[in-house]
Chain A
Amino acid sequence: MYHHYQKSLPYKLFTVFNYTLLTIIAVLCLLPLIHILAVSFSGSAAATANLVGLWPVDFTLDAYEKTIGNENFLRSLWNSFLRVVLGTLISMGVMLCAAYPLSKSDGAFRGRKLYMWFFVFTMLFHGGLVPTYMVVTKLGLTDTIWALILPPAVSSFNLILLVNFFRTSVPKSLEEAALMDGANHFTIFWKIYLPISVPAIATISLFTMVFHWNSWFDGLIYMSDVKHYPLSTFLQTIIVQQDFTKMSVDAETLKNLSERTVKAAQIFIAALPMLIVYPFVQKFFVKGIVLGAEKE
């Protein structure tokens, strides 16, 4: 597209200014990540002496070796992996099953409205931190992975996205033909709804995976032992709180953990899965936002 106004001098000047400004903003957004990456690949002495800018000084993989060699780190990485896989599977299973009936018309499924409000109300009002904590504790879920998986398993927001997707994308004629042939709801859900909804399922699964990978607070309050910590909680404890009391480590490991380069390496490893899936996720997320915005 080329317009007449684009030939005017002020607009040309603006264009130069605009591209420069946007480039600067984009670079500024990335600098923190590049800096932390540079620190993680630098020699410990150089990092402590604040010599590292945006390029590693005394390049070494030392920090990564120390990180990988730390069993606490590896265990929390495994916990996170387990949490993401199990959490996403359960969450998607439960939400998809619920989205199917909720996508029916009010005539075909009496009580749909009531159920819908049951879920939507939780978006409007919360019991809050302390009562939720007490429920999870009373159920004896503390120190088990279920404390991290079950409470957030049904996200009303994601559920609504799925319902809207089912409503708009599954051809009603296909469904009615199947009903005529005597198919029951389970079959229709399994054979018609799920195959058609692969894009939506992928999108919401990615939402859920990112959520589980990034969650850290529930690990902090529900896990009393550091060996149950997911990676985010582990990092929060040693990098942000700088609290090593919960870890039964010898002086040597402690010294390693508090090194600046090791912290940087751990941060980078935790960010890595997001950086890898990001290009895919981004495409889906943009769709998801549009999915969310198009509801009428």
Chain B
Amino acid sequence: MQSAVDVKGQTAAVEVKRARKRKGTWQLHAMLLPALIIVFIFQYIPMFGLVMAFQDYEPWLGFLHSPWVGLEHFKTMFEYEDARQVIWNTLVISTLKIIFNLGVPLAFALLLNEVYVMKFKRTVQTIVYLPHFLSWVILGGILIDMLSPEGGIVNRFLSIFGIQPIFFLGDNDWFRTVVVVTDVWKECGFNTIVFLAALTSINPSLYEAAIVDGANRWQQTFYITLPSMLPIIIVVGTLSLGNILNAGFDQILNLYNPLVYKTGDIIDTYVYRVGLLNGDFSYATAVGLFKSVISFILVVTGYRLAYKYANYKIF
């Protein structure tokens, strides 16, 4: 049995050790300082700026003296035909993107997984992943040229089959399709690699056992591969939930034009036009705040679900 003195001595020793460990904590705080200052100025101060959403902000009056209007701007937002259309467009485009950016890479990873010529597999993977690194300015420039109704290469190809030129980027029937397809083109390589990493980490003995039991490749895919992939599919899916109001600002701003505002204008592009181009700061901030709040709820929900169902934690 330990005597009280011993225990005391031990705790003292632990204390000394801790104290030595903690010595120089000020250095740790100091090292954090630059990052704290930058994040405070450029991330937190703008959050305080959100009070503008409840004011009729006038630059010469400032935050302190601009008149308060309560929820006026939010009411306007839900009454405006424009704003409602924009929210709807955002939801439609982002939902389609989430579905296709999950399904296409999954199918693609499964097909690549059946390739046993490593060189071929790596080459395809490399090529498909490439557009991810090019900006939407570059891809937008390329697409505007290719999809042009006046002799763009896509329309020239279609004309072989006697199809009349289509103005893909100026036609409300086509714009969303173009947005979703080109987004999958740019981004599908990323999730493919995530899924491939998960595929290669499946325990091979599972397959060996299934082969002994006479399972063919289809059965192996349905009863082993897909169930083993479920956690990572859930993680990718739930985390993309937070993006449901992010329909792709960079992409849309580089592809759209007034002809397709009806189907292609999204919350972010709307906020940019109304706020920075027309100078309606308060209303634009209100729309932005609406988006930030909903996104916050969705991101937190997404992380919670990912943690609950797949034991995924960000830190």
Q: A residues within 8 Å of B by Cβ?
A: 1, 3-5, 8, 11, 14-15, 18-19, 21-23, 25-26, 29-30, 32-33, 35-36, 39, 49-50, 53, 93-95, 97-98, 100-102, 104, 107-111, 115-116, 118-120, 122-136, 139, 150-151, 153-154, 156, 159-160, 163-164, 179, 184-186, 189, 210, 213-217, 221, 232, 235-236, 239-240, 260, 263-264, 266-267, 270-271, 274-275, 278-279, 281-282, 285-286, 289-290, 293, 295-296
Contact = CB atoms under 8 A, between A and B. Distances in A.
B124 A129 contact: no
Interface stretch (B30-38, B81-89, B94-102, B258-266): B30-38
B138 A135 contact: no
26 contacts: A11-B216, A14-B114, A23-B124, A25-B128, A26-B123, A50-B156, A100-B31, A101-B28, A111-B29, A124-B296, A125-B47, A126-B295, A129-B271, A130-B281, A131-B45, A131-B48, A131-B288, A133-B275, A136-B42, A210-B133, A239-B140, A239-B144, A240-B141, A263-B141, A282-B129, A293-B197
B32 A1 contact: no
B305 interface: no
A19 B32 CA distance: 51
B141 A5 contact: no
Given A21-B111, A132-B46, A135-B49, A239 B146 contact: no
Interface string B239-270: 00000000001100110000000000000100
B141 A235 contact: yes
A109 B130 CA distance: 42
A278 B129 CA distance: 10
B216 A22 contact: no
B168 to A, nearest CB: 13
B50 interface: yes
Interface stretch (B5-13, B19-27, B170-178, B222-230): B19-27
Given A124-B296, A128-B285, A185-B28, A1 B145 contact: no
B192 to A, nearest CB: 11
B243 to A, nearest CB: 12
A42 B57 CA distance: 53
A239 B141 contact: yes
A179 B150 CA distance: 70
- Among B120, B151, B315, which residue has the most Cβ atoms of chain A within 10 A? B315
Top 10 closest A-B pairs, CB basis?
A127-B46, A131-B49, A50-B151, A128-B288, A214-B135, A98-B35, A131-B46, A101-B28, A185-B27, A239-B141
B146 A35 contact: yes
The binding surface of chain A is classed by DSSP as helix
Given A11-B217, A126-B43, A94 B38 contact: yes
Nearest to A161: B315
A30 B128 CA distance: 8
Contact of B28 (A50, A109, A139, A289): A109
Given A126-B47, A130-B288, 9 more contacts: A35-B142, A94-B38, A108-B22, A124-B296, A133-B276, A134-B49, A135-B45, A271-B138, A281-B133
Given A131-B46, A154-B35, A286-B193, A101 B29 contact: yes
Nearest to A122: B43
A236 B136 CA distance: 9
B137 interface: yes
B114 A29 contact: no
Contacts of B20: 179
B105 to A, nearest CB: 12
B39 A154 contact: yes
B16 interface: no
A131 B272 contact: no
A179 B292 CA distance: 44
A3 B211 contact: yes
B4 interface: no
A239 B135 CA distance: 13
A232 B131 contact: no
Q: Interface centre among A18, A49, A154, by most B CB within 10 Å?
A: A154
A281 B271 CA distance: 34
Contact of B276 (A49, A130, A267): A130
Nearest to A25: B128
Contacts of A3: 207, 211
Contact of A160 (B112, B288, B315): B315
A29 B133 CA distance: 13
Nearest to B290: A128
A221 B284 CA distance: 15
Interface in B274-302: 275-276, 281, 284-285, 288-289, 291-292, 295-296, 299-300
Contacts of A5: 211, 216-217
Contact of B285 (A22, A23, A97, A131): A131
Contacts of B135: 213-216, 232
A221 B253 CA distance: 13
A136 B296 CA distance: 23
A30 B127 CA distance: 7
B75 interface: no
Contacts of A235: 137-138, 141
